[in-house]
Structure 1
Amino acid sequence: MVLLSADLDAARERFPDQPPEHGERFVWLEAGHAAQNLYLWAAERGLGTVPLAGIDDDAAATTCAGLLPRGHRLLGILPLGHLRRD
């Protein structure tokens, strides 16, 4: 399982010459790039992944809190596994 996370406060402060929301927007873009690369990496190895969606964000954040660096917010969860071959 891969957890995507980021320190959104730090991202907002990283670009002082731009509106604060731009830093957060860059984080979400990079998270998407990372997820896409994970899809490609998994497919190359005969594995599969899918972003978990429709989950309780607060419960997921609480469950994963001990796995994330201090100050990070959970952005996404991508399980990895073998593809089912029918």
Structure 2
Amino acid sequence: MACASAEHEREVLYSLVSRRRTVRQFTDAPVEVRALMRILACAQGVSGTDGKRGAPSAHALYPLRLTVIARRVQGLQPGTYTFDPQRAGLDRVAPGPTPGSLLAASLADDLWLETAPVVIVISADHDLALRHFADQQPDGLRGARYVDVEAGAVAQNLYLAALVEDLGGVLVMGVDDEALARALTLPAANKPVALFCLGQDQRS
């Protein structure tokens, strides 16, 4: 039975990875709140009694934070929310950003920043990471590498979890950081790293 279970898990994982694609065109259909919560938990939720999460973090520092811009989520009032990894819950912190402000911060014509039902903001406390890993290289910047690698792991989890929920997504990093920070409601210590647009694939 154990061998059969392991083989099934391998098939599921390899199938997910082989089907992972970027989705940029979304329908108007809302995202179900239960699906959204499972996706967020997969990306940053606590996954065991040891406090570890689904995405790795050097020294278990966890400098990343997920902020959710909910436009069309069934069962959730539109607005900006922070994700609490410990209880796998959302806390509403502000209305959504001004319409057009995310697109204005884009360095390209990323219309999906405005059309996606959900935008998940991956942000980081860079200063925390830089201080923690300051002695690992002469210029003290090793922490920035850890932040980027951790954000990549979170993004891949978002892609795969979205696929399981019959949704699609696109990671956006081509943004003006200062303009984006002005458009978003983030803790003072956190700076945006990337945006993940989430919704139902228009091609489905």
Structure number with larger C-alpha Rg: 2
CA deviations over 1:7-50 (Å, ceiling 9, x no partner): 11110011243122111110110000000000000011111110
Q: Give the 3-state SS of the residue equivalent to 2:194 in structure 1.
A: strand
Q: Which runs of 4+ in 1 moved over 6 A?
A: none
Work out the CA distance in 2 between the residues paired with 1:54 and 1:12.
Answer: 23
* Contact kept in structure 1, 2:173 and 2:193, CA below 8 Å: no
Match 1:70 to one of 164, 185, 188: 188
Work out the CA distance in 2 between the residues paired with 1:42 and 1:16.
Answer: 35
Partner of 1:7: 125
Q: Give the 3-state SS of the residue equivalent to 2:199 in structure 1.
A: strand
Work out the CA distance in 2 between the residues paired with 1:82 and 1:26.
Answer: 31
1:24-43 alignment, distance < 5 Å: 24-43=144-163
Aligned length: 84
Cα offset for 1:54?
A: 3.3
Work out the CA distance in 1 between the residues paired with 2:123 and 2:181.
Answer: 10
Call closer, same or farther: CA 1:16–1:57 in 2, change over 3 Å.
Answer: closer
- The root-mean-square deviation of aligned C-alpha atoms, in Å, is 1.5
In the superposition, the TM-score normalised over structure 1's length comes to 0.87
Which has the larger displacement, 8-17 or 74-83? 8-17
Letter in 2 for 1:14: H
Call closer, same or farther: CA 1:30–1:53 in 2, change over 3 Å.
Answer: closer
Which has the larger displacement, 33-42 or 16-25? 16-25
Tell me, which stretches of 5 or more residues in structure 1 are unaligned?
none
Work out the CA distance in 2 between the residues paired with 1:79 and 1:34.
Answer: 14
Q: Which has the higher helix share?
A: 1
Call closer, same or farther: CA 1:53–1:70 in 2, change over 3 Å.
Answer: closer
Work out the CA distance in 1 between the residues paired with 2:130 and 2:150.
Answer: 14
Which of structures 1 and 2 has the larger relative contact order (alpha carbons within 8 angstroms, sep 6+)? 1
